[in-house]
Amino acid sequence: MKDKLILLIVFTQILVNWAIAQDIGTGISNHSIVKRFDGKLFTWGWNYFGQLGNGQNTNKNNPVLVDTNGVLSGKTIITVAVGAAHNLALSSDGMVYSWGANLYGGLGIGNNIDINVPVAVYTGGVLSGKSIIKISAGSGYSIVVASDGTVYTWGQNTYGELGNGTSGSNAWKNVPVVVDMNGVLSGKNITEVAGGQNHSIALASDGTVYTWGNNSFGQLGDGSNINSSVPVAVNTSGVLSGKTVIQVAAGYYHSLALTSDGNTYSWGRNDYGQLGNGNTGTNRNLPVAVSTSGLLNGKTITKIAAGAFHNLVLTSDGELYTWGFNEYGQLGNGNTGTNSNIPVAVSTSGVMNGKSITQLGTGFDHCLAIASDGTLFSWGNNTYGELGNGNNTHSNVPVQVNQSVIGLLPVDELSPTLFSYELSQNYPNPFNPITNIRFTLPHRDYITLKVYDILGTLVEILLNGELNEGEHTVTFNAKDLTTGIYFYQMKTKEYLETKKMILMK
């Protein structure tokens, strides 16, 4: 019977070699940050507030190492996030660290003093006992997701970007607060967040999207232009009808969403064509489709990133496309000053000739990309050295970042993937009634994640759809099940693994 699981111990040799994962900070910043395979962090660019994290406040046009002698000593950093002038780093033990500008309390350390080396985010309040799995940073504020799917924020809250039901300059918070989970987020498991200038985006495990904060230009996507200090649902009656969103990104005043079929949608401000729908000047408070009638025709988008007023996407064939504002050449197509309201191709005639891109990132008006051979590229505004190539000259085509300090960011020659298939042991285990299941995918894939009882009867389907490459965490709530042994199984076309977990009530 198809609802039965044959409980066998199967040892499967997966022909995917070990690969070294990288991470690029993406946001609306004039500095850049990248994580090396060993968890070391490197930064360059604007450093007025100490956002480079190297103990100084001097701009750098070459990469420098973030200080690891303090709170990061002995920590393994697994991901980074970049705000307008501050950064976040997440360690493997679920702890969050911050540094840079702190006028609004965006560092989450209980004061408003700028810090030029990493410090630990306060965990004595609502974060007590929580394990963080996702991080993002906006302009003066921060957003994180705990393993139970709850969202926490801190920092600037003028427009309600903290999502806790308050707003105004007297509502800034320099320690974490919990986002209102009683309205549209009730019962939702949030898996990803993104912060813009002063609006926030959250993606739920069921592929629905929620927003809060400033809505002057329709960037909340709910059909209105009314600010909201609590989450609202992005409208799905139009182009998003029947779509499953798998990734979100926040620009200065606009929003992006990637769906499981490889298409991109946008909403919000459109003064530079940043919505990519062939129009310039008409803001949208409902999602619209990014144009696929030109260069994106037949392409499958796998990753998205939003700068302040421009966007960058990666397709399944390793190519990059951009659209929006182009004052500094941030579209990377060899032109400076000509904006584009439809996607254009990033130039591959120079240093990126023959390269297959695997990772991407954006700043305020610059872009970053990592190729499968570990080479790091940048283009756009270089006023503060944010291109990291040793000078301060803007570039409208990709240039190579100086990697003499970083070294190559290598990915295994036999596999361009940044991850291998892996299903981790659930945690906690034993559990009652909530546990977390973490897994990684080497590329975007169709995955099922199912739970069975000891007799092999299917009791719950946790996932059944496409996900992007990378690390993912799903929360399983067994409140309606009885004490006993259960099994969870992850299955793709190339991979099958089953693990045991114990529910103790």
Helix/strand/coil (H/E/C) assignment for every residue in 434-454: EEEEEEEECCCEEEEEEEEEC
State residue 255's pLDDT score.
Answer: 99
User: Which residue type is seen at 307?
Assistant: G
State residue 10's pLDDT score.
Answer: 27
Inside any domain, residue 404: no
User: Which residue type is seen at 310?
Assistant: H
Inside any domain, residue 437: yes
Inside any domain, residue 379: no
> Given a cut of 80, is residue 60 above it in pLDDT?
yes
State residue 147's pLDDT score.
Answer: 87
> Given a cut of 50, is residue 294 above it in pLDDT?
yes
State residue 408's pLDDT score.
Answer: 73
Inside any domain, residue 451: yes
> Given a cut of 60, is residue 92 above it in pLDDT?
yes
Inside any domain, residue 269: no
pLDDT band at 4 (very low <50, low <70, confident <90, very high): very low
| CATH code, domain carrying 497 | 2.60.40.1930
Angle at CA 113, nearest 5°, toward 120 and 193?
A: 50
pLDDT band at 265 (very low <50, low <70, confident <90, very high): very high
CB 429 within 8 A of CB 501: yes
Residue ranges making up the domain that contains 429 = 422-503
> Given a cut of 50, is residue 413 above it in pLDDT?
no
> Given a cut of 60, is residue 410 above it in pLDDT?
no
CB 178 within 8 A of CB 200: no
Q: Greater confidence, 9 or 406?
A: 406
Section 30-39 average pLDDT: 90
Which range among 18-32, 88-102, 170-184 shows the weakest confidence by mean pLDDT?
Answer: 18-32
State residue 19's pLDDT score.
Answer: 26
Cα–Cα separations (whole angstroms), residue 157 to 269, 295, 446: 20, 39, 38
| Burial status of residue 390 (CB atoms within 10 A of its CB: 0-12, 13-18, 19 or more) | middle
Residue with the two structure tokens 């809250």: 157
CB 315 within 8 A of CB 321: yes
Instruction: Using the Cα atoms of residue 176, residue 155, residue 50 and residue 83 in order, give the sign of their dihedral.
Output: positive
Inside any domain, residue 14: no
Cα–Cα separations (whole angstroms), residue 271 to 289, 367, 384: 17, 20, 25
Among 436, 440, 441, CA closest to 474: 436
Which range among 21-25, 184-188, 257-261, 342-346 shows the weakest confidence by mean pLDDT?
Answer: 21-25
State residue 15's pLDDT score.
Answer: 20
Inside any domain, residue 254: no
Inside any domain, residue 462: yes
State residue 419's pLDDT score.
Answer: 54
Contacts of 89 (CB under 8 A, 6+ apart): 41, 66, 72, 77, 79, 80, 81, 96, 97, 98, 118, 135
pLDDT tens-digit profile of 451-476? Answer: 998 888 899 999 988 888 777 888 89
Question: For the chain, how many structural domains are there in total?
Answer: 1
